[in-house]
Amino acid sequence: MRTIAVAGASGYAGGEVLRLALGHPELTVGAVTAAGNAGSLLGEHHPQLVPLADRRLGPTTAEALAGHDIVVLALPHGASGPLAAALPADTVVIDCGADHRLTAGAAWSTFDEEPHAGSWPYGLPELPLAAGGRGRDALHGVRRVAVPGCYPTAASLALAPGLAAGLLEPDVVVVAASGTSGAGRAVKPHLLGTETMGSMTPYGVGGVHRHTPEIEQNLSAAAGSTVVVSFTPVLAPMPRGILATCVARLAPGAGRPAAGDVRKLWAEAYADEPFVHVLPDGRWPRTGATVGANTLHLQVALDERAGRVVVTAAVDNLTKGTAGAALQCANLALDLPETLGLPLAGVAP
């Protein structure tokens, strides 16, 4: 059994990591820590985690987290870098924040005031790469992993096969709706139930959302050249889930492919991926079908009149979009079966 510690355990992402860790046959939960909630019982924040409800949250320090096989950092953006630097080099550290995702410091500084903490191996195992292979090739046996953002997980896996095959122009549009848990657990007036129920609101419009350079980084790796992304996130009146609609023009050299051939390209790209499902023709992704599962559902359509490909993707932002990805990457880092302990079935209704 390996021990896993979770920093930021009182938050939504930290709680989801613990839920999945409880069902993992090779993991046992060690330290659970928090910042402002240190000293309180975990059950006060996550009553659903009955086996851990009596655990007392400790302070988030390197001393509290050291000595574990795996440390998951479910912390606010900008908080992981200094803490990770103080952890032992032989510990598998999985960062669920944005601190270590971007390879270019300039891209980080455009969206964040904190110093760039550096780049870690990027934890999107299924991502097709222009040079061949997948994102998982860089994750076996590593001791530091940057978990993708939830929006980039959906958008990147939605569009990567078409860019890797040269079918799509490297200029794409992504509009994605997310549940309120994606904004974290801190109390914010615009996230109150009275503000969100029965209402949808765009935010981060005009290329200013922090996930934009991350999506561009991933899709450029798939295309083998620079990809420009216009990304608009939308707050949706639901607790969890992302539905992304991703659109790109057919590349000039793509000719006039048939709709069935376009869809077949995606189906073949992910045929061996247990967590990415291209749905049967005519069936469209639903966020509710992915709740609690480490899965991403896709559908592909060809808009022949407009000369564009439209890909829709649904994912649970807390499971495959964060915590499930963290444990999937931990499995790879520890040379365990990649699917170990990760649910394929969602919770519905």
Is the CA virtual torsion 102, 152, 300, 255 positive or negative? Answer: negative
Question: Which two structure tokens, joined as six digits, stand for 306?
Answer: 């407009």
DSSP sequence for 208-238: TSTTHHHHHHHHHHHHTS--EEEEEEEE-SS
Gap between the terminal Cα atoms of the chain: 34
- Give the helix ranges, DSSP H, for the chain: 12-22, 42-45, 62-65, 80-85, 105-111, 150-164, 193-196, 212-223, 259-269, 324-333
Q: Which of 96, 150, 246, 329 is catalytic?
A: 150
Tell me which residue has tokens 């200094």. 82
Q: Are 139 and 325 in contact (CB under 8 A)?
A: no
Task: Assess whether 329 carries a catalytic annotation.
Answer: no
Cβ atoms within 10 Å, residue 299: 21
Q: Would you name the residues annotated as active-site residues?
A: 150
